[in-house]
Amino acid sequence: MHNDRDVTEQRLARVLNERLRPAVHARSVPLDVAVWDVSGEPVPVHEGLAAPFRPARVGDRWGPAWTTSWFKVSGRIPEEWAGTSVEAVLDLGFSPHSPGFSAEGLVYRADGTAVKALNPRNIWLPVVEVALGGEEFVAFVEAAANPVVMHTGPDELTFGPTAVGARAPWLGDPASDPGEPLYRLRRLDLAVFDRGVHELVQDLDVLGQLMHELPAESPRRWQILRAVSQALDAIDLQDVSGGAVAARAALAPVLAAPAHASAHRLSAVGHAHIDTAWLWPLRETVRKVARTVSNVTQLMDDHPEFKFVMSQAQQLAWLKEHRPEVYARAQEKVKTGQFLPTGSLWVEPDTNITGGEALVRQFVHGKRFYLEEFGVETEEMWLPDTFGYNAALPQLMKLAGVRWFLTQKISWNTTNKFPHHTFWWEGIDGTRIFSHFPPVDTYNSDLSGAEVAHSVRNFQDKGGSSQSLIPFGYGDGGGGPTREMLARADRLRDLEGSARIEMEKPADFFERAHAEYEENGGAPVWSGELYLEFHRGTLTSQLATKQGNRRSEHLLREAELWAATAAVRHGHPYPYDALDRLWKTVLLHQFHDILPGTSIAWVHREAEETYAAVARELTDVTGAAQRALAGPPGGTVIFNAAPHARGGVPALGAGPRPEPADTPVPPVADGDGFVLDNGLVRVTVDGRGLITSAYDIAAGREALAPGAVGNLLQLHQDFPNQWDAWDVDVFYRNTVRDLTEADSVTATGEHVRVVRTFGDSRIEQTLTLPAGSRRLVIDTVVDWHEREKLLKAAFPLDIRAAHSTAEIPFGHVQRPTHTNTSWDAAKFEVCAHRFLHVGEPDWGAALVNDSSYGHDVTRDVRADGGTTTTVRLSLLRAARFPDPDADQGTHRLAYALVIGADLTDAVREGYRFNLPERTLPGSAAVAPLVRVDHEGVVVEAVKLADDRCGDIVVRLYESRGTRARATLTPGFPLASVTATDLLERPLDDPTSHQRSDADIQLTLRPFQILTLRLRPLPGS
């Protein structure tokens, strides 16, 4: 037999695309169409249904960007269609190459009931299963003209404004929209749904894809090829429907052949990754959620085996608020076990930049929503798409009652392939969580033959395990699974040559995978952070958004602390509802495309406005509580929300300052520069405004490397290969401009003021050295108008540091300063929260900041034999995509060099820098609600219990990575103390604390997080 494989495969592709797929809806009649274009924001459904429609027709253009058009489609089923299944085919003209970005239509019945969503590969609508003939049909479509910002072709992405031509300036900002329609109506018909042809299409689709993945020499491939050839011979291309039965019969034997006993098992889980904001605003995500849930619940009616996970509580809360009838459908399907609330989080947040207490509240509000709304205790952290994972997460997961962790993004690593797909992830405290990375390498699988085969080939843990998970369904912009995907899953359940696919709950997969590993000697372990070798620019992009989050996190801490203190001390009303609402607002904006700075201009503009409103309200909450505490006039009361005492004011307490304030020391002229000297450290600033000496007087040690200068601002070209707002590529270091020229360097009272101009930008910095402090503060105002540039501040230190120590939530991580391995070299830009420390065993320095996260640390050996460790802080970027004007404008930020600092100093100074003292008129001394006698044990939160019973909840952690014995002393008569989980439920933890009279003795392991619920004595 001659080899006709290529001919048959080409024949299959053409027949499928040009004859069979069109034949599924071959018999059709056009619908009558009318349209109403909404001016401005979307309108309620009832308004859209009652709108003044005007006639329209196929071929009409519609939809300037970000607008909504309502379509009314109506018609009559022909009498001759009696006994057939009838569907509507509604192709609104969305781009077919980006189905997960264009799930932008939602169909309603005349009574306003949502039926299902429309996207480019899901354009059918059920009308009647068995037509009588003559029935009237009417439906309404709410169609959003959302632009596809990034995609331009089937396999092409665009990453910059020039790539998308004239549309670029307005794609992410409706204020600049020229008003041109984006889409054109393609097809609006009533059609007979030919089920036999549809099933034949699915048979050939699955077999054709499987065939392409089998080796050319595989007998199974040739068996499928012969069957496909026979099936194609059985089809009359002028009467496809008439040959469908015979064609399917030719395929039946190869479809019936079972998978091999050793075939990999894939747990298929329906999913629709919906970015809570990204290339669309928050308001559009509210509608995307309604479309997607309508779509999947409709599929569940016809496919009882179909299971679908929904992983962000915020999205379901929106659904409940805005579309209660769609939410009711989800609740119905939760009861049948098909719709699975999943993930345990309020949104899918960024986990590098989000602070520790905020991550706690992500779990608290996420899990609590699922418990209250569905009675479901979620046990997994479902976070497929975020840009790295901090090493405190395993402990946080365990304390939230989470057993399993799923993500996928590590497959995007550009240097090192992660060695496992199923493993134990060990955090900084030793907690381990059973984790899985789906080897399909996408969270938007369509269950194609290529993706199924890739899952098997790519799986790293063969031998130890025989199964993995595959999330399937169109996503990013939503949509979810289609009936074609479900057809593939059905045919691949047990098919020779393929992995076995079974639709099931994630928990079923995790339980079985865990048990299998236990039988095979246990799963491998990965210890420490899961660093993503990609998207490092997200630590710096959109500074204003990051500042809003950092400020909000600390304002929430203050508001809870002082409101709880005022409630206990004076019966001041505790603002439960306001704090709950404000926390959820902040948590929402920690979504992994908002906080990292990778959304369109619209999203970040709204975020800045929201953060400003949050700050105003939290300032009011804090002010009201502090006024209740400050007492009658007569002096000044200092409030210290930091977890360490300062200036004689206790941690978490307030009172008149018993010691002189740490006022800045005045600069003294020194040649063409100035000296700042407070008796502890001496800092010299030269005529260029650069630090030439940072001398630790007590230690007799210079911090800066010989001949080097500190606070050197450096400007790099920043044009990554792709993903502009996301990426900083290592070659940025190849070009650098040192900003050494100053317009002016002057002494202004207690500061040294330095002004620099460069390009189209201006920087003004004031350098301040407080009395009694080792902290040189650099307050910076930047009028930033550069493009595709990265601004860093460098401190070359005379330190031989083997590693840097960076703050992460509830602790720190150490990263090598060398580049011995590719894993070390890939960490050329790293995350640190409030501090980054480098040091030798007996001396070190820390860089603290109030709003920056990106850092890099390099190490060089000098000619004199000494070592220079250079610590740099990333201040600003100027990406052009997806926001062409990202970071443009005026910013104020601050950072400080702490000279002669150990790790305890770094922790303390980081908190102090972000929690400045507040002063109010008054005369009262306010004792803290709790005191801790160990400087390494940090109180992270003090609040009243969420159940409103009046208990005080205290969350603390060991910050230095050592064991700690400490005493916690409540500032009120104590009735009882209980260790709890993050949701403030009792936890069996007999070793961490022991009550002793009025005190609580704490025994903490390194980096342990402990939440205590303190019940005051009644009447106290």
Write out pLDDT tens, residues 153-165.
555 556 655 444 4
What is the greatest pairwise CA distance in the chain? 105
Instruction: Estimate to the nearest angstrom the gap between the alpha carbon of 689 and the chain centroid.
Output: 39
Query: What are the CA-CA distances from residue 879 to residues 160, 542, 597, 599, 701 (Å)?
Result: 9, 9, 10, 11, 40
- Return the percentage of the chain with pLDDT > 70, whole number: 98
Query: In sequence order, which ranges of 841-929 are alpha helices (DSSP H)?
Result: 903-914
Alpha-carbon distance of 413 to 416, in angstroms, equals 6
- For the chain, give the mean pLDDT: 95
Query: Which one is catalytic: 189, 275, 385, 686?
Result: 385
Among the residue ranges 163-177, 193-207, 766-780, the one predicted with the least confidence is 163-177
Residue 163 pLDDT: 43
Its sign, for the CA torsion 819, 821, 826, 830, is: negative
| CA-based nearest residue to 576, from 317, 948, 940, 981 | 948
State the burial class of residue 14 (Cβ atoms within 10 Å of its Cβ: 0-12, 13-18, 19+). exposed
Angle at 148 between CA 143 and CA 149, to 5 degrees: 140
Instruction: Estimate to the nearest angstrom the gap between the alpha carbon of 1015 and the chain centroid.
Output: 36
Question: Residue 967 has which token pair?
Answer: 């005493």
pLDDT tens profile 781-800 = 999 999 999 999 999 999 99
Number of C-beta neighbours around residue 4 at 10 A: 11
pTM of the model: 0.97
Alpha-carbon distance of 997 to 1000, in angstroms, equals 8
| Contact yes or no for 34/55 (Cβ under 8 A) | yes
Residue 660 pLDDT: 78
32 catalytically annotated? no
214-250 in b/e form (b: 16+ CB < 10 A) is: beeeeebbbbbbebbbebbebbeeeebbebbeebbeb
| Contact yes or no for 606/281 (Cβ under 8 A) | yes
pLDDT tens profile 875-934 = 999 999 999 999 999 999 999 999 999 999 999 999 999 999 999 999 999 999 999 999
Residue 152 has pLDDT above 60, yes or no: no
Query: What are the CA-CA distances from residue 216 to residues 16, 451, 591, 1012 (Å)?
Result: 22, 18, 45, 64
Question: Residue 698 has which token pair?
Answer: 């007590």
Average pLDDT rounded to a whole number, residues 206-233: 96
Alpha-carbon distance of 675 to 695, in angstroms, equals 11
Residue 159 pLDDT: 63
- Return the percentage of the chain with pLDDT > 90, whole number: 92
| Contact yes or no for 356/393 (Cβ under 8 A) | no
Residues 6+ apart with CB under 8 A from 368: 946, 983
In 598-743, at which residue ranges do the beta strands (DSSP E only) sit? Answer: 636-640, 653-655, 668-670, 673-677, 681-685, 691-696, 701-702, 712-717, 736-738
pLDDT tens profile 618-670 = 999 999 999 999 999 989 999 999 999 999 999 999 999 887 777 999 999 99
Alpha-carbon distance of 539 to 877, in angstroms, equals 10
Number of C-beta neighbours around residue 269 at 10 A: 26
The amino acid present at 318, given as its one-letter code, is W
Query: What are the CA-CA distances from residue 334 to residues 288, 330, 974 (Å)?
Result: 20, 6, 43
Number of C-beta neighbours around residue 749 at 10 A: 10
Query: In sequence order, which ranges of 156-216 are alpha helices (DSSP H)?
Result: 168-171, 195-213
Phi first, then psi: give them for residue 347, nearest 5 degrees: -135, 175
Among the residue ranges 98-102, 179-183, 612-616, the one predicted with the least confidence is 98-102
Residue 534 has pLDDT above 90, yes or no: yes
Alpha-carbon distance of 78 to 851, in angstroms, equals 66
DSSP track, 628-646:
HHH-SSSSEEEEE-SSS-B
Average pLDDT rounded to a whole number, residues 19-30: 97
| Contact yes or no for 642/649 (Cβ under 8 A) | no
Residues 6+ apart with CB under 8 A from 513: 422, 434, 436, 465, 467, 468
Element (H, E) at 455: helix 449-458
Question: Residue 93 has which token pair?
Answer: 């003209």
- Read off the pLDDT band of 405 (50, 70, 90): very high
| Contact yes or no for 806/836 (Cβ under 8 A) | yes
Question: Residue 499 has which token pair?
Answer: 């992995």
| Contact yes or no for 619/914 (Cβ under 8 A) | no
| Contact yes or no for 255/207 (Cβ under 8 A) | yes
Average pLDDT rounded to a whole number, residues 494-512: 97
Residue 551 pLDDT: 98
- Before 882, cis peptide (omega within 30)? yes
| Contact yes or no for 49/108 (Cβ under 8 A) | yes
| Contact yes or no for 103/54 (Cβ under 8 A) | no
| CA-based nearest residue to 710, from 722, 693, 727, 723 | 693
- Read off the pLDDT band of 420 (50, 70, 90): very high
**Between 1 and 199, residue with greater pLDDT:** 199
Alpha-carbon distance of 714 to 703, in angstroms, equals 20
Residue 79 pLDDT: 97
For the chain, helix (H) and strand (E) counts, in that order, are 20, 55
In 186-285, at which residue ranges do the beta strands (DSSP E only) sit? Answer: 187-192, 265-270
Average pLDDT rounded to a whole number, residues 187-196: 98
390-413 in b/e form (b: 16+ CB < 10 A) is: bbbbbbbbbbbbbbbbbbbbbbeb
Residue 516 pLDDT: 95
DSSP track, 336-399:
TT-EEE-SSSSS-B-BSSS-HHHHHHHHHHHHHHHHHHH-----EEE--S-S-B-TTHHHHHHH
> Three-state SS across 367-379?
HHHHHHHHCCCCC
Residue 170 pLDDT: 56
Using left for φ > 0, alpha for ψ between -120 and 50, and beta otherwise, residue 942 falls in beta
Phi first, then psi: give them for residue 584, nearest 5 degrees: -65, -35
Residue found by looking up tokens 């002063």 in the block: 919
Element (H, E) at 424: strand 422-426
Among the residue ranges 14-23, 97-106, 608-617, 733-742, the one predicted with the least confidence is 97-106
Alpha-carbon distance of 936 to 907, in angstroms, equals 9
Q: What is the DSSP letter of 259?
A: P
